[in-house]
Amino acid sequence: MIKLIRAYACAVLMLSLPGAPASAHPHVWVTLRSEILYASDGTVTGVRHAWRFDDMFSAYALQGISHAKKGQYTRAELAPLAQVNVESLKEYDYFTYARGDGKKFNFTEPVDYWLEYANPALVLHFTLPLKTPASTKAFQVEVYDPTIFVDFEFAKDRPVALSGAPPQCELTVDLPHQPTPAEQARLSQLDFAPLDASSAYGEIFANKMRVTCQ
């Protein structure tokens, strides 16, 4: 009997323990276009993003934003919302993760950000400067949401561009790979062991851009 109780206590514990936060329903879809920026000396200085939100989320984000003309929003009218966007994204590291030669690179706060309304979708433009310019042979940027609440997808045509890169640099774009059975199994346990922002699980679904310079 005691064994039984112990077994149950153990089962309960196992079910309740795994971790904190966040259930994941994707309710935001982002179509992604990015540019990797280079200085004239061949170092990477940052990443410029243009994120197009799906039309339902765009309508949600536009709710209550005052605008002069129905169905139109000017850049100025959207400026406060763009400000809120980039401020909110800070907590999530802008969903942008850069690495090179086995090292992680950090970004500073975004610059040059604005929202564009291309009916029916909102497009968020912003530039993430690297804290220190990277002079690596291999540079990689991943865009994903660790909690998989936001679904990122590369745009169909020209998803990534290099701006001012040395001619010997070559760009490769990797789409999210097919989950392995183990990753599939993890997916089905999200209710008990939800993903939090520190989890690397969402990386499976990362959109990867890699640049190698010989």
**Which residues of this protein are in contact with other proteins, per CB under 8 A?**
1, 3-5, 7-9, 11-12, 15-16, 20-29, 53-57, 59-65, 81, 84-85, 87-89, 91-92, 124, 145, 147-151, 153, 175-179, 184, 187-192, 194, 196-197, 205
Q: Least separation, in Å, of the C-beta of 30 and other proteins?
A: 9
Q: Given the complex with other proteins, which of 5 and 76 has the nearer CB atom? A: 5
- Give the residue with the Cβ less far from other proteins, 7 or 111: 7
Residue among 4 and 68 whose Cβ is closer to other proteins: 4
Question: Nearest distance from residue 85's CB to other proteins, in Å?
Answer: 5
Q: Which is nearer to other proteins, 32 or 44 (CB)?
A: 32
Nearest-approach distance from CB 106 to other proteins, in angstroms: 20
* Residue placing its CB nearer to other proteins in the complex, 121 or 162: 121
Could you tell me the smallest distance in angstroms from the CB atom of residue 161 to other proteins? 21
Pick from 95, 61, 67: which is nearest to 81 by CA?
Answer: 61
3-state secondary structure of 24: coil
Closest Cα partner for 136 from 104, 167, 107?
A: 104
**The pair of three-digit structure tokens given for residue 202, joined into one six-digit string:** 């969402």
Query: Could you tell me the two tokens for 208?
Result: 């990867």
CA distance 102 to 129: 19
The partner residues of 125 in beta bridges, in order of sequence, read 50, 114
Strands 96-100 and 103-105: antiparallel
Query: Position of tokens 């062991």?
Result: 193
Please answer whether residues 53 and 124 qualify as being in contact, where contact means their C-beta atoms are separated by less than 8 angstroms: yes
Give min distance, CB of 118 to other proteins, in A: 15
Which helix (H) or strand (E) segment is 90 a member of? Answer: helix 75-90
